[in-house]
Amino acid sequence: MERTLIIIKPDAVQRGLIGEIIRRFENRGLRMAGMKLIQVSKELAAQHYGEHKGKPFYESLIAYITSAPVVVMVLEGNNAVAIARNTIGSTRPVDAAAGTIRGDLGMEVGRNLVHGSDSPPSADRELALFFAPGELIDWTRDTDRWIFE
């Protein structure tokens, strides 16, 4: 079972889209292992977006992610990273397919609603930034046998 980090970003929280976004992941079949509403500090943002340091958009990215609360959650399932990213859609909402979160609800690349880990190693690193081991729950749903082979 693979895990991935999802961040429902400030624009989605401000627009009241938390429930809609969670619904899409749950409808897809991904199972939640942890979730919390947080205010991202500048220090945490710098750790999370460290790979972008020095790029022209870095400062605005930090300002954006720290501008309002976010919902961070851990989703799990077979191929959770790829499935979550497919559900989210292309980084640029204008290029995102209809039916994806960004394709249906997004307008601008700088306000693209959701972050999803881009690989299992990235997911492991990101999960450790946002969740302590005791905050994640191992459980099974009665419906898992109808979702996972």
Positive/negative CA dihedral, 55, 57, 61, 62? positive
Burial class (CB in 10 A: 0-12, 13-18, 19+), 47: middle
Instruction: Examine residue 92 and state whether it is found in any structural domain, yes or no.
Output: yes
Q: What is the pTM of this model?
A: 0.95
Instruction: Examine residue 60 and state whether it is found in any structural domain, yes or no.
Output: no
Question: Which CATH number do you get for residue 110?
Answer: 3.30.70.141
Among 115, 117, 130, 131, the active-site one is: 115
User: Which among 72, 6, 68 has a CA at the least distance from the CA of 39?
Assistant: 68
Residue 42 has pLDDT above 90, yes or no: yes
Residue 39 has pLDDT above 90, yes or no: yes
Contact at 8 Å (CB) between 29 and 129?
no
| Token reading at 68 | 């309002």
Instruction: Examine residue 65 and state whether it is found in any structural domain, yes or no.
Output: no
Q: What confidence score (pLDDT) does residue 13 get?
A: 98
Residue 138 has pLDDT above 90, yes or no: yes
Q: Could you tell me what percent of the chain has a pLDDT over 90? A: 97
Q: How many domains does the chain have?
A: 1
Give the span between the Cα atoms of 40 and 67, in whole angstroms. 8
**Structural domain for 14, as ranges:** 2-39+71-136
Instruction: Examine residue 90 and state whether it is found in any structural domain, yes or no.
Output: yes
In the residue annotation, 48 being an active-site residue is answered as no
**C-beta atoms surrounding 140 within 10 Å:** 10
Instruction: Examine residue 50 and state whether it is found in any structural domain, yes or no.
Output: no
Mean pLDDT for the stretch of residues 94-102? 97
Contact at 8 Å (CB) between 9 and 74?
no
Instruction: Examine residue 144 and state whether it is found in any structural domain, yes or no.
Output: no
Contact at 8 Å (CB) between 75 and 4?
yes
